[in-house]
Structure 1
Amino acid sequence: MLQKVKASVKKIIFFDLHRWINSKNLAKKTPSDFKNYLSAALMIKNEAEYLPEWLEYHLLVGVDKFYIYDNDSTDRLKDVLRPYIEAGIAEYIYYPKKQSQTYMCNDAIKKAQDETYWLAIIDTDEFIVPKNGLKISEILKNYESYPGVELNWLLYGDSGQTKKTEGLIIERFTHHAKLDEPRNRHVKTISNPRKVAYIPSPHNAVYFNKQRSVNTAKVENKLPFLKRVACFDQMYIAHYFTRSREEYFKRRKQGPATQGANLYGSEEIYRLQNKNDIEDLIMEKYVSIIKTNIALRMDNNK
């Protein structure tokens, strides 16, 4: 009963009548109508040091533009982001509200609907991983008849590291959970913004005309994601939830931008999320070029 009440409240808060009236016309638009094919939106707080890697990685795998929502950061976020803004790759949005990630998701959908065909909404510790040597943008060509694609997490642990060391996230942490780990059932969504009625949580969306998203195997999502079997066809989310032990507790102490952040500062949650069952070097091929691209971009911005 309580869940139904919460769902109704979210619908009242986030549903946009104007978008609903125009939804049929908006849904008719094709990829050729947009400057960008795939964009990504992110809410960030005091994690500027991780942002260049996240941006350069996603540029390599097919993301065209980024909407960066600053949740009242006190680090050098705007300085770090400047070369990407000047290159027209990133758009900076100051968004200081507390515990406001769901509001940010709904704002991003409205902002992106006239600018991009697909929009992914993910976090700084989440990297979309395409398989079979393809880019995300190439894979998504096969999903254009669907309103959204839900990608499962693949939970990465600390790889035995207690302290922060030099190197990229994807370089330092190479061990992840078994595929059948229950926490891998969590999802993040790449959606067609014009088909989204509203977003009730950072994980998935509600679509106009009772449409349903699919998983990466193109199976319609009828059950809540925690009741489904995780799917790793075509692409998934590498979720570096803990990073090292030092980074985990620092992040939680300073207050990340993500919703419900106060739930994640305990030893128990760290133990549950710190999965290192399988070594996987799938991200290794990106390390050298990401480092080179970061250095070049920073040099050009001096």
Structure 2
Amino acid sequence: MNDKVSHNYSFSYNLTPAPAAEKEDELIAFDDCLEFPLPGQRVLIRSKHSDKQAIVTQDVAYSLRLRQTFRSLPEHILHVAQHIPELAEEPQDIRQVLQSIRQAGLMLSARDKAQSLRPAAEFQPVAQSLCFCILTCDRSASLSRLLDSMATTHSFDANNRYYVIDDSREQRNREHNRQLCRKFSAAQNLDLKYFGTEAQDQLLMQLKTTLPEHAKGLDFLLGRYPDDPTIASYGRSRNWGLLLGAGRKLLLIDDDILFQRVEPPQPGVGINFSSQSRGAAFFRSDDEWRALYNTDTADPSANALTTVLGTSLEESLQLFAIDALSQNALRDLL
């Protein structure tokens, strides 16, 4: 090792036969561990899911935190070298640490985890009504565009509930949004409920009267800023949505989208799980993304989404007729 970073490490663990050497394409990740500082700049790392543990130096503990995403061994080595420049010329030392931690039982195998996930033996989804909550705040033009797209792509169902939760600061925007709901309800022959500040304040008062011991918490979750009601409080709209959708599958919809589904420009292969909250695709023109539009699958709330929504992982695998997952399905999972 170089002089800048010391990687003298020792291990404490139950002696078991060493696992077979890792295949270069096998995806592994460092287990979720508790850390306990010890004298001599050492750290006891202990799995949260088993009795496996090891004693390592602080710098090794730091490098292990960089390995909690499933990657192949060469990818882990490259990732650590990129984040710890002092180790860029020490790939064999990084490899040795990984192999030692693996022998201590503190590295997880994506293949083993994927094989443990099996579809539910028998499962039939139960039809359940939905609650659509559109969240808007001083963007009447965006709300109008969203409703126009829903009129084109969505099959409205009288068994579902539809709300516009308005957190607008300006009175003129609130009135405009109320009129949009009335016109849309009449045009689509449905009840698109406008849930604005008056309805919110009234329901909040009823809740506080019924549950006075929780008045402070209700104000925090659902109330406006009393000193300045013009301050935006975006989280409260989502909390109202959770309350209005109680007992139903809930879809929260931002007002700045088009309610339509397009095929991804780069279709994925099978199912994968990710810790990323979202993915993005960018297009050079409207024509480019419109070419991916399919009228048969335009409604983003139809079929797979609302059927799978609320099911367990095992039930979802059964619905998609997936008997087994590959290790690559967990590649992006943290």
TM-score class normalised by the smaller sequence: 0.3 to 0.5
Question: Structure 1-normalised TM-score?
Answer: 0.33
Q: Higher strand proportion, which one?
A: 1
Question: Structure 2-normalised TM-score?
Answer: 0.30
